[in-house]
Amino acid sequence: MRVRSHVLDGSDLEPAAVVQRAIALQGQDLPAVLRAIAIRSRPGTTVAEVRAAFDTGALVRSWPMRGTLFATTPEHLAALLHFTSERTHRAAARRREQLGLTDEVVARARDVLAEALAAHPLRRAEALDLLIEAGIDAVGGRGYHLLMHLCVDGLAHWGPFDDTGTEQLLVRSTTAAPADPDAALAAVVRGYIAARGPVSETDLAWWTKLPRAALRRAAEAIEDLVEVRVEGSPAWVVGEPHAPEPSGVILVPGFDEWILGYADRSLVASPAMLDAIVPGGNGVFRPAVLVDGVAVGTWRASRSARSGPPAVELIERVPAGVRRAIEKAVAAWPHG
């Protein structure tokens, strides 16, 4: 059922529509999120086409819910920040204090970047250099935190790519906050569930970082929300649930919502498998091999002669035929 919700069984969606439908997709690893969008788009969609959606402004990347980057749309970004920015700032208050980022420093940085972005987009290094030239210490973590803080404020976001196609440029945010906050929150809740269901209330609260009472009220306004039972526990889907069917071998990139979109990941990966996906608990999520929706191993594509041949590391036992299907899928991976 989740394979269908994630549209990993195929869709006719353009990249921007994939993200519009899902509200936001984990984007702290830029190459990975481009691939996550591509595999959920219509057959044949390339990473270059996903980048093009950022270049046109249809997609953006920012910190809409917490100190983690996500790919989203300008409209969803504005709506999410309306609900989450104050909470995100409160959560980071101690870190700001440790870095010496007073209200005066933040206000000065906002003025400097607002003036510069009114003229043209900026590379990250250019933005930090401008702050330093203005007498603001923006070296290391201070610079990163200032940029994040101002993006959470709604000043800017990461948008089009530079001429190398590898780095996103910082641009001024112009999309207004939602006129109807209640309807906007209901749309966020519905989108999260539709693109990941079945999900629990705990999953939803973990992903949005919003109070459960507000999320329940929003859920009550969704006419096509349906409660199901997953291993005896309540969960939500959007629309009438379809009978689950085997989905075979599916490859997902690192940091994919298949793993990171839920508070409880036990349905899709064993403890040993989760240890393999995040070796040493280092926060770096490796690409996963799914067999009928369950992670059984990790994989690596061959992106260049230097990176070596494709590789598969299976953690769970699979039949020989499934192993061959996995190796064939990795060898045929089209997204670099």
CB 210 within 8 A of CB 203: no
AA letter at 168: Q
Taking only Cα atoms into account, the Rg of the chain, rounded to an integer number of angstroms, comes to 21
pLDDT per residue as tens, the chain (336 positions): 999 999 998 899 999 999 999 999 999 999 999 999 999 999 999 999 999 999 999 999 999 998 899 999 999 999 999 999 999 999 999 999 999 999 999 999 999 999 999 999 999 999 999 999 999 999 989 999 999 999 999 999 999 999 999 999 999 999 999 999 999 999 999 999 999 999 999 999 999 999 999 999 999 999 999 999 998 999 999 998 887 788 999 999 999 999 999 999 999 999 999 999 999 888 899 999 999 999 999 999 876 656 667 899 999 999 999 999 999 999 999 998
* 60-62/70-72 β-pairing: antiparallel
